[in-house]
Structure 1
Amino acid sequence: EQVREISVGVHGEGATARLVAWVSGVSGEGWEEALRAVATSRLPTYMQPSVYVPLESLPLTANGKLDRKRLPAPSVAELPWSAPEGEIECLLERIWAQALDLERVSATADFFALGGHSLLAMRVINDVQREFGIELPLRRLFENPDIRSLARLVSDQRIRSENLSGAVTDATQIEMEW
């Protein structure tokens, strides 16, 4: 496989802006992973496209220049998909989809590869803490950047939190003698 043409640009605005690569000359399996590997080896994370859109050819103006206005918007269907499993993953998927302005989010997709950044990460962590009633440092999202691994962490944290609250309740019932 050989890439004939590629154009990278920003799609969306504000917090939901993400880098998209429109690529022509590719087909079959493995082309996206190969392009991601090249981008990962040569570019810092913030410069790597989060979505790759295959095209027959890039749209051109009458002058033969790239017509950015005619580049198609990336669709959720172009993202790899692994359905969320269980209540925690489903709730996390809803939180991420809302923050990233996507219809759905794969349980194995990397938050940052989908266009997430530190400000959105803070929003997601805040929503996760509110939804599940747990304390979760921001770094945990960086360490667990997909829904599936974050769900395991949230589950463990909820269990610890419940165990601690039970211990505190038992301790407060002990009568103090002075």
Structure 2
Amino acid sequence: MTRISEQNPALDRTIAPVLQAIWAEALGLETVGPDDDFLQVGGHSLLAMRIAAEVSETFDIELPMTAVFRHPTLASFEVAVENAVREQATAGRFDRGRR
């Protein structure tokens, strides 16, 4: 799976640190590494809801809580968020073109 940040390095500089901060704050940790597993570092369903809500609001996307469990490492979650951001941007361009 190709990360959007590989196509656009600016995204990696903006999305990755923001997601890391959101996870760290929700989990009560100073830092979270890219390979840290959400459940293994103390995550649970309420924290997944908090993370999904914060990410959805921050990036103006619709991200279900289940995304945290389907993509349990920060690195895999980042890919999922990047894809959602790209899909939202594409949908927005399509919707504007229909008006």
Q: What is the alpha-carbon root mean square deviation over aligned residues? A: 1.0
* TM-aligned CA deviation for residue 147 of structure 1: 0.9
What 5-or-longer segments of structure 1 have no aligned partner? Answer: 1-84, 173-178
User: Relative contact order (alpha carbons < 8 A, sep ≥ 6): 1 or 2 greater?
Assistant: 2
Q: Which runs of 4+ in 1 moved over 4 A?
A: none
Larger radius of gyration: 1
Q: TM-score, normalised by structure 2?
A: 0.84
Aligned residue in 1 for 2:54: 127
Aligned residue in 2 for 1:110: 37
Render the CA deviation track for 1:22-50: whole Å, top value 9, x for unaligned: xxxxxxxxxxxxxxxxxxxxxxxxxxxxx
More helix by share: 2
Q: TM-score, normalised by structure 1?
A: 0.48
More strand by share: 1
Residue identity (%): 35
Aligned residue in 2 for 1:77: none
What 5-or-longer segments of structure 2 have no aligned partner? Answer: 1-11
What is the distance in 1 between the residues matched to 2:38 and 2:16? 14
State the number of aligned residues: 88
Aligned residue in 1 for 2:7: none
What is the distance in 1 between the residues matched to 2:17 and 2:35? 12
